[in-house]
């Protein structure tokens, strides 16, 4: 199997970019990264009906062709991007379903020392 690029959370999460062949540690990590991409880019991304072995994300913009599909590699937890249409034909949204309180705390909370 040819070497495929691996998603590196410490580097690649700053500005999420997808490409065909990009490898994720799990389906859960893949979905977390898609959510982060949606927030960073102001896009209405949603997950279509998913199965344990594959995940499909689409843009909810009217007639927007953006789509991302990843599936498991054999009997491992690893997922790889198989299909990616990066074209967005929709405007940026102002309210994002993925920008939850939990997400805000994870991105902006600075722990303080007590005592």
**How many Cα atoms within 13 Å fall on the side-chain side of residue 70?**
28
**Global confidence as pTM:** 0.81
Whether the CA torsion 106, 103, 78, 2 is positive or negative: it is negative
What pLDDT band is residue 13 in, cutting at 50, 70 and 90?
confident
Per-residue pLDDT band at 92 (split at 50, 70, 90): confident
5 pLDDT band (50/70/90 cuts)?
A: confident
Cα distance between residue 25 and residue 23, in whole Å: 7
The token duo for 51 is: 């199965």
What average pLDDT score do residues 77-86 get?
95
Mean pLDDT of 35-64: 90
């Amino acid at each position: 199997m040819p070497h495929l690029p691996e998603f590196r959370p410490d580097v690649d999460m700053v500005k999420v970019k997808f490409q065909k062949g990009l490898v994720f540690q799990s389906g859960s990590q893949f979905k977390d990264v898609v959510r982060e991409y949606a927030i960073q880019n102001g896009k209405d991304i949603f997950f279509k009906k998913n199965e344990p072995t594959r995940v499909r994300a689409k843009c909810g913009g009217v007639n927007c062709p953006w789509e991302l599909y990843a599936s498991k590699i054999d009997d491992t937890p690893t997922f790889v991007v198989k299909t990616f249409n990066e074209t967005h034909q929709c405007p940026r949204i102002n309210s994002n379903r993925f920008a939850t309180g939990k997400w805000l705390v994870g991105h902006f909370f600075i722990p303080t020392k007590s005592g």
